């Protein structure tokens, strides 16, 4: 279902992202294509390096964050809401350009702090269930949680189309699902903790090919 | 409303060709409550028509049993070059359309 571009419902979001890429927005009258031209060239391989440090603000940003920074700095238009149809579509379109390329994250002096925090969160027991991410996704992957096979917890196919949601969703929405599952406090999508965790997961998935848009159960 | 239509670009006369369409639509059943317990009104694509050179070749009436982002596939016989045009309307009264061109040789 995922590998057939027509059967993959995520391609609807990619197609929508392509339209948004060409659409001028904001006071500047610029579209994404004005600066970046063809996404198939300009955006190829970009998603393999994210989340990355933004030199301007010295903050960690993922593709969603980068799109919103671009909107603020270059298009002078308000940010898309996290998890909005538009942001999902553009993110899927940008990440789709790197499909098949291996995740390539390097940990250096700039992002080391975020990486360490992400790894701590991954290994920390949280919630009423007192479970860490690692206990399911490192120690018990491949086994069953009720009828579901426990995944290895890689984020290389996001944004995904999830059949349970009947909709596309971001990695952070999936994080919130997991937090709900272990009865932990739900963090907002786009929060600093989730970005740190996303960086750790990207490092953990290094070498795996990007699959965006993925289809998951 | 966004849709992707997939047909062969070219076909020989008399050839049986597959026609596929995927539409981005929530297909709200009308049975689900929202976060405040209120019923979300039913909103599905209730009718979809496909015309090939103006002749209706396929019609679907969908209900609340069809999943979100529906995909339909059917077959037709390629006769002559022309447009394959889809039109559909949902319960909210929103209409959508999509077209694809087919070249028939022979």
- Give per-residue pLDDT as tens, B1-28: 789 999 998 999 999 999 999 999 999 9
CB contact (8 A) between residue A6 and residue B68: no
From first CA to last CA, the distance across chain A in angstroms is: 11
Which of B6, B22, B67 is the closest to A12 by Cβ?
B22
Name the minimum distance, in Å, from the CA of B11 to any CA of chain A.
20
The fold for domain A10-96 equals Cytochrome Bc1 Complex; Chain D, domain 2 (1.10.760)
Considering CB atoms only, which of B6, B22, B68 is closest to A167? B68
Structural domains in chain B, CATH included, are 3-30+42-105 (2.60.40.10)
* Residue located via tokens 């929060």: A191
Q: Which residues pair with A104 in a beta bridge?
A: none
Please name the residues between 133 and 172 in chain A that touch chain B, using a CB distance below 8 Å.
161, 166-167
In chain B, whose CA is at the least distance from the CA of A16? B2
Which among A96, A124, A117 has a CA at the least distance from the CA of A195?
A117
**Contacts of B6 by beta carbon, 8 Å cutoff, 6+ apart:** A6, B19, B20, B21, B22, B100
User: In angstroms, what separates the C-alpha of B74 from chain A's closest C-alpha?
Assistant: 14
Task: Give me Rg for the CA atoms of chain B.
Answer: 16
Q: Give chain B's count of helices (H) and strands (E).
A: 0, 8
Task: Say yes or no: domain A112-216 is CATH 3.30.70.20.
Answer: no
Buried b (16+ CB within 10 A) or exposed e, B83-102: ebbbebbbeeeeebebebeb
User: What confidence tens digit (pLDDT) does each residue in A139-181 have?
Assistant: 999 999 989 899 999 999 999 999 999 999 999 999 999 999 9
Tens-digit pLDDT profile for residues B37-76: 999 999 999 999 999 999 999 999 999 999 999 999 999 9
A15 touches chain B (CB under 8 A): yes
d(CA A107, CA A113): 9
Give residue A214's pLDDT band: very low, low, confident or very high (50, 70, 90).
very high
| Structural domain spans, chain A | 10-96, 112-216
Instruction: Show the tokens assigned to A191.
Output: 């929060």
Q: How many CB atoms lie within 10 A of CB A96?
A: 25
């Amino acid at each position: 279902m995922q590998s057939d571009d027509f059967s993959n419902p995520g391609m609807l979001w990619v197609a929508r992202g392509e339209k948004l890429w060409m659409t001028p927005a904001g006071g500047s009258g610029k579209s994404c294509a004005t600066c970046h031209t063809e996404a198939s060239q300009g955006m190829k391989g970009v998603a393999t390096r994210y989340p990355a440090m933004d030199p301007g603000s010295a903050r960690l940003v993922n593709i969603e964050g980068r799109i919103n920074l671009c909107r603020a700095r270059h298009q002078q238009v308000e940010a898309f809401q996290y998890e909005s149809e538009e942001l999902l579509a553009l993110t899927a379109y940008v990440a789709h350009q790197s499909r098949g390329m291996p995740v390539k994250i390097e940990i250096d002096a700039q992002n080391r702090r975020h990486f360490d925090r992400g790894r701590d969160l991954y290994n920390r027991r949280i919630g009423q269930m007192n479970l860490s991410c690692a206990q399911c996704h490192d120690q018990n992957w491949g086994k069953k949680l009720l009828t579901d096979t426990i995944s290895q917890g890689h984020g290389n196919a996001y944004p995904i189309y999830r059949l349970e949601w009947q909709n596309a969703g971001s990695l952070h929405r999936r994080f919130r699902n997991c937090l709900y599952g272990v009865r932990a406090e739900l963090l907002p999508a786009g929060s600093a903790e989730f970005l740190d965790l996303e960086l750790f997961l990207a490092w953990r998935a290094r070498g795996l090919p990007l699959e965006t848009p993925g289809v998951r159960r | 409303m966004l849709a992707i239509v997939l047909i062969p670009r070219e076909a020989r006369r008399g050839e049986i060709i597959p026609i596929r369409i995927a539409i981005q639509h929530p297909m709200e059943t009308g049975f689900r409550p929202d976060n405040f317990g209120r019923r979300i009104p039913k909103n599905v694509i209730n009718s979809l028509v496909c015309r090939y050179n103006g002749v209706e070749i396929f019609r679907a009436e969908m209900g609340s049993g069809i999943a979100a982002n529906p995909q339909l596939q059917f077959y037709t016989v390629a006769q002559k070059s022309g447009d394959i045009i889809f039109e559909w309307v949902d319960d909210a009264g929103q209409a959508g359309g999509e077209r694809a061109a087919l070249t028939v040789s022979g």
